[in-house]
Structure 1
Amino acid sequence: MLELLKKVQLFENLNVEQLQRIMSIARKQWFTAGTVLFQEKDFGAAFYILLKGSIKIYTRSTSGDEKVLSLLQSGESFGELSLLDGRPRSASAQTLEDSTLLVISGNDFHELLREQFEITRHIMAQLCRRLRDTNQHVYDLTFVDSRTRVLKNVILLANRHGSRAGNIITIKMPLNYDELAQMAGVAKQELSQVLRDLEDRHILTFSPNAYKLDLARLNG
């Protein structure tokens, strides 16, 4: 368990004693693929740290349309916003595959923030990054064409979650076309056209559980 905690970005500067403190207040839980961990407008009762698997954070419009806001991989955390401001959840969270998480209750989370400045600093940095991402996404939807938005989101996934071997970046994530279209803010028909073009040019290749991005062809 201690070795898993050391790989979590939020805890990277903590010593063994501090990590053991976290272990004493966290519950390790397993969830099957497709489990909704919480829904938008729920009361926030816990903070989550993803040890293994993947999570999508999303919202739904009044008409039921889904919008994927972000995709999380092992080592990332979520669920802190409603614990910090006391307001309902701003989005929903669902497992994309079988996942292992650490769950910390709201009261223990607040006590941890009071005790550990490094954790507080990392959470503040995460919130700032998400705000910047939101601002960039609004800009993209306003000023950037659909092809560029699709490619930017693929590159974003590669940068955050990919593993590189030479010029090839592999993104091991069970992301379907619907979710990629939601992230890029494009219609499925537009997405299919863009992906077809990228595949024809061998920039992007798909397999059931992975995407491969060829940087040499992308920059060529």
Structure 2
Amino acid sequence: MDDSRDRTGAATGRTRPGTATVVPFERGPFAGLGADDLRTLHGLGTRRVYAHNEALMIEGEPGDRVVVLLTGWVKVVAATEDGGEALLAVRQPGELVGELAVLDGEPRSASVLAVRTSTTREIGAAAFLDYLADRPAAALALQRSVTRKLRLATRYRIDVGHGTGLARLARTLLILLDSCGVPTEQGLRIDIPLSHADLAALARLSAASVERSLRTLRDQGAVRTGYRGLVVRDRTPLAAAAGLALPTDRGGRS
């Protein structure tokens, strides 16, 4: 059993040894690895299930492991100076979390919370670093993944750091759409349970501004909101609201 903790730091005891769980690496950092590298990686660590809102990692803790998300979704949050909580990112199945603290040995800079029941494979820091040392292709893939995350974080700060509330919310929805949009009869549904407060945190807006902007986007026919979540009905007005040119290589997604 590993030393995974709940939000209070108490051991949960809900891990169990794993052997060769198939990890959905199609979107993850190790998608292009060869069969032998992947087989070895699949054999590392333990499998664990987290309940809704349970912490996978807590800000300030040591980086004792990395976590591969197998099912479910998680959000990355950090404490603010006023005692609040800033939503930094959402992560989907196949993605790796916790690698920065393992790589640099510094305390975790953010917490990671499950936003729905999530299954993970957790690999201890020493085992993961040994794996990278023995597998140059995996080390290079991780380096590229970390670089991509840093580039996306920079792009995200630029996209949501200026403009009207409507533009910032529209850009945030486009980012979410590309990472977790699921086709439905009504359009593309953002397949992660985000409250208006979560959207406000991601777009760096007030809850009132999010409400006004969603109302405008609904009136324009761009989105539909309801108990099943938020659906983007037409990407064109959403891109226009964001002040962005709509790319032509979306594979038919509208």
TM (norm. structure 2) is 0.79
Flag the structure with higher helix content.
Answer: 1
Identity of aligned residues (%): 22
- After superposition, the Cα gap between the structure-2 partners of 1:187 and 1:139, relative to the gap in structure 1 and judged at 3 Å, is same
Q: Which runs of 5+ in 1 are unaligned?
A: none
- Report the 3-state secondary structure (helix = DSSP H, G, I; strand = E; otherwise coil) of the residue aligned with 2:168: helix
Cα distance, 1:178 vs. partner?
A: 0.8
Is 1:62 aligned to 2:62, yes or no? Answer: no
Higher RCO structure (Cα 8 Å, ≥6 apart): 1
Q: Name whichever structure is richer in strand by fraction.
A: 1
Cα contact 2:24–2:93 (8 A) shared by 1 = no
User: Partner of 1:173 in structure 2?
Assistant: 192
CA RMSD of aligned residues (A): 2.2
TM-score of the pair, normalised by structure 1? 0.90
The aligned residue for residue 140 of structure 2 is 121
* CA deviation profile, 1:119-161 (whole Å, cap 9, x unmatched): 2223222222222233233334543222111000101000111
What residue number does 1:23 align with?
A: 42
2:111 is aligned, of 84, 87, 92, to 92
- Taking a change above 3 Å as real, the CA distance of residues 11 and 154 of structure 1, as seen in their structure-2 partners, is same
Q: 1:152 to 1:5 in 2, by over 3 A?
A: closer
Partner SS for 1:143: coil
Q: Does 1:204 pair with 2:206?
A: no
Structure 2 CA distance, aligned partners of 1:110 and 1:185? 35
Match of 1:83 in 2: 102
Distance in 1 between the 2:93 and 2:197 partners?
A: 22
Query: CA deviation digits over 1:35-71, x for unaligned, max 9?
Result: 0112111111010100000000011113221111100
In structure 2, the residue matched to 1:13 is 32
**Aligned residue pairs, count:** 220
Could you say what secondary structure the match of 2:193 adopts? coil
One-letter amino acid of the counterpart of residue 198, structure 1: L
- The aligned residue for residue 108 of structure 1 is 127
Distance 1:207 1:169 in 2: 13
Q: Where do 5+ consecutive residues of structure 2 fail to align?
A: 1-19, 241-254
Structure 1 residue 202: Cα displacement: 2.2
